[in-house]
Amino acid sequence: MAAGWHRRWRHPKPRDTELTAALDRARRGRETGFVSVYRQLHPGLLGYLTAQLGDDTAAAEAADAVWRTIAHEVFSFQGDGTDLRVWAASLAHRQVHDQHRRPGHAGVGAGGSADFRRVVSALPPDLADALLLRMVVGLDEAGAARVLGASAPSVEAAAHSAARLVADCLASGPAPGAPRTEWACAWC
């Protein structure tokens, strides 16, 4: 992993002005606002759900439940685009725990490569949550901490530890072009 990648996490993200504008349009009942909110949030949410649940169908069902809640409650939602991103991630996180995560079972849909999902599924749940909320959903430390009910420094530490473990494990995999065999790093 490049050193610059770690530095990127040390500075909080600016407030999400594009998502805030889309949210304002959605609150006024404009279809373009809902479409924009969906396009900005759905890929990250679906990636998070797929990586956590390990199954494309379960992830799609969980995402549908998240979007039903958002569509129903967006008119009374208080906050900006960043707050909406955190709330949506909280709803997705709740769906994961409501569906009783299946440990060690990675799917093949959205949310990164199959190897990445396999390795993330082997992480302890707190590390996987922190990493996926930061990398896949795109939350900053404070937003991920709100979702997880933890402190921002503990989320940052967990995400960095998870990223190092995943990078080390993926680096120990087979060379590009080599025949696929079963491989695993020492911890997964």
Give the domain range for residue 44. 17-171
Contact 51, 1 (CB under 8 A): no
Is residue 24 situated within a structural domain?
Answer: yes
Is residue 100 situated within a structural domain?
Answer: yes
Contact 37, 23 (CB under 8 A): yes
User: 187 pLDDT exceeds 80?
Assistant: no
Is residue 81 situated within a structural domain?
Answer: yes
Instruction: Please state, in angstroms and rounded to a whole number, the distance separating the CA atoms of residues 5 and 9.
Output: 7
Is residue 1 situated within a structural domain?
Answer: no
What integer is the mean pLDDT of 23-52?
Answer: 94
Lowest average pLDDT, out of 105-114, 129-138, 140-149, goes to: 105-114
CATH of the domain at 86: 1.20.140
Is residue 10 situated within a structural domain?
Answer: no
Is residue 107 situated within a structural domain?
Answer: yes
Per the structure, how many domains does the chain have? Answer: 1
Is residue 80 situated within a structural domain?
Answer: yes
Residue scoring higher pLDDT (158 or 100): 158
Is residue 83 situated within a structural domain?
Answer: yes
List the alpha helices (DSSP H) in 28-151.
Answer: 31-53, 56-73, 81-98, 114-122, 125-135, 141-148
With a threshold of 0.85, does the pTM exceed it?
Answer: no
Residue scoring higher pLDDT (12 or 7): 12
Structure token pair of residue 86? 């955190």
